[in-house]
Amino acid sequence: MAARDYYEILGVRRDATKDEIKKAYRRLARELHPDVNPDPTTQERFKEVTQAYEVLSDENKRRMFDMGHDPFAPSGGGGGAGGFGAAGFPFDDIMNAFFGGGQPGGGRGPRDRVRRGRSIKVRIELDLAETAFGVTKDVTFPTAVLCATCQGEGTAKGTHRRTCDMCQGRGEVSQVTRSFLGQVMTTRPCPQCAGQGSVITDPCADCAGEGRVREKVTRKVQIPAGVEDGTQIQLAGEGEVGPNGGPRGDIFLEIVQRPHPIFERRGDDLHCTITVPMTAAALGASFTFETLDGTEEIDLRPGTNSGHVITLGGRGTRHLDGSGRGDLMIQVDVETPGRLDEEQENLLRKFAELRGEDHPPGKFSPGHGGLFSRLRDAFGAR
Ligand SMILES: [Zn+2]
Ligand SMILES: [Zn+2]
């Protein structure tokens, strides 16, 4: 048997497919690569992992290893693969396969200095009627706008950006280090120009070279009918201008609905309660009532019970998709008179007598509306 188990080193099963082996190596190489993690024990492990991949990714070498020969063993069981090092080991191929040829010369060039601006979140408080029917509002918020003086260039009038002398405009600088791999060239964004390849020598006085300035902006916004608390409206491309005149981010308007003194909103329906005296519930009555659409007359039929709901169809908020409106629901709460004076008490006793209710038996029924049935309903049982 070979001294080292390459399957174990890569953390794959003996029957792993080529693809699984490649994935396992890619994952380990990312975390152990000397550019990421230069510490010596990690480098040793990286070497080990790469050897394991070299063997298991090659059909012949893998078969040999499966038969008990280690292609990398010092005794050289495996036809001239040689030791790990400069000679014979196709390290560059592997590196290129995984790190996109990020070796000397393959520079990416200067970075784009124009970047997209940030998106802004703006909260706007609205009354119920405004969310129900829609409204046009002036919204003021801080943002970044294009510098009018330099038109986003960031340079003072009559001057231009100068090619960075540290990187000669390439935007990146390279450094050669020695490691177990031999010489390794690493490439990083140029620190002097932040990878942009050019620098501003005379910055614009108004934006200090940023190409944009901070400003408070007021904008008219059309809020559609039917929005509710938490609804977000995206105004694409109306957020901050990016550095150096980059494209604008977005504005996200978040609706905050102020509570209404009477109506509670559930979806697009509105709910409220009307409390009426027992006599009105028994005899019937009419009330004037302020809806979102104005004053309306509400008729209470004679003999209305507590808990009865009067529905005014189409008096809720508009649906956001424009398909109509929700309803307005008024729940009736009948108030039983408390303290009675002598005359009232006598009248009520007389009334009870006339109704044959002077010795009321009370009516018991199986749990309707009681605690148990409410619990049952809440849990969805029948
Ligand atoms: Zn400027
Ligand atoms: Zn530079």
Q: Is 189 inside any structural domain?
A: no
- State in Å: Cα 276 to ligand 2 middle: 80
Ligand sitting nearest the alpha carbon of 199: 2
State which residues form the domain around 139. 120-155+209-257
State the chain's mean pLDDT as an integer: 84
Mean pLDDT of 219-226: 94
Mean pLDDT (whole number) for 283-288: 95
Answer with the one of 257, 279, 295 that is the final residue of a domain: 257
43-84 pLDDT tens trace? 888 888 888 998 898 888 888 888 887 777 654 333 333 334
- Answer whether 0.85 is exceeded by the pTM: no
Q: Which residues surround ligand 2, an ion (CB under 5 A)?
A: 164, 166-167, 190, 192-193
Residue 162 in any domain: the answer is: no
Q: Is residue 368 part of a domain?
A: yes
Q: Ligand 2 centre and the CA of 169: distance in Å?
A: 6
Q: Which ligand sits nearest to residue 170's alpha carbon?
A: 2
Q: Say yes or no: 17 and 142 in one domain.
A: no
Burial zone of 246 (CB within 10 Å; 0-12 exposed, 13-18 middle, 19+ buried) = buried
The answer to which of 85-99, 289-303, 309-323 has the lowest mean pLDDT is 85-99
| pLDDT of 87 strictly over 90 | no
Ligand with an atom nearest the CA of residue 163: 2
d(CA 333, CA 271): 13
Mean pLDDT of 315-321: 95
Cα 114 to ligand 2 centroid, rounded to whole Å: 16
CA of 207 to the centre of ligand 2 (A): 22
The count of domains in the chain is: 4
User: Is 168 a domain residue?
Assistant: no
List CB-based neighbours of ion ligand 1 within 5 Å. Answer: 147, 149-150, 204, 206-207
Q: Which ligand is nearest to the CA of 173?
A: 2
Helix (H, G, I), strand (E, B) or coil at 345: helix
Residue 365 has pLDDT above 90, yes or no: no
Residues 143 and 230 in one domain: yes
Beta strands in 149-301 (DSSP E): 162-163, 172-179, 182-189, 198-199, 212-223, 232-235, 251-257, 264-266, 269-277, 285-291, 294-300
* pLDDT confidence tier of residue 91, bands split at 50, 70 and 90: very low
